[in-house]
Amino acid sequence: MGTLFVDKLDPQSGTSLEIGSSGDTITIPSGAPITNSGTATGFGDVNSPAFRAIRTSSNQTISNATTTKIQFNGEDFDTDSAFDSSTNYRFTVPSGEAGKYFFNMRVLVNSFSGGTGAGYYIKPMIYKNGSVVQQFQYYDFRAGAKDMYGNVSVFLNLSVSDYVEGYIYNSSADSSAKDIDDYLGFSCLEGFKVTT
């Protein structure tokens, strides 16, 4: 193997320069930094699939003391058409996109009411393949009507065809049904691929 010592490589003609051929392995040795002052394309993670699904068109009623699947029936974006916003309301990992993902869910629930000292709470949950993998409880003990806002996030290692959904449990002192609010997309499930 020979060594070529140069300070700069330029194309012989035109403006394109190719290093190696298809199937070749180009190795950058350990300790050799790569400095890029241009635009990098065609390699590295681009954080897709990515999506943001929202509750839209109308509020969703949820019963008291019940775990309910949230019907995120609209989308702000969905890079790989991997979120079903019309039937199953879930994100499914597309072919070739297994890896580590980050998900975040926010839920606005209205209107809780109760007397002084009455306890009520919401528990937003993220499910993977039909089972809860992350949840958080939000309590409120104030008197009078109010809205409750909850958030839950999780990193997941997913295989192709794994699916992720949003659920919520609500428990109210007045035992009445509540609504998941559709206002301005405050209630949403969003996620993106972090790496393979």
For the segment 6-14, the average pLDDT, to the nearest whole number, is 80
The domains located in the chain, with CATH, are 50-195 (2.60.120.40)
188-195 and 50-54 strand pairing:
antiparallel
Quick one: pLDDT at residue 119?
Answer: 65
- What's the CA gap between 89 and 165, in Å, rounded? 7
pLDDT band at 102; cut points 50, 70, 90 = very high
Going by C-alpha positions, the residue among 165, 85, 88 that lies closest to residue 127 is 165
Grade residue 70 by pLDDT with cuts at 50, 70 and 90. Answer: very high
Between 155 and 173, where is the model more confident?
Answer: 155
Label residues 65-97 b or e (16+ Cβ within 10 Å = b): eeebbbbbbbbeebebebbbbeeebbbbbbeeb
Q: Which of the 8 DSSP states describes residue 28?
A: P
For residues 12 and 152, the model is more confident at 152
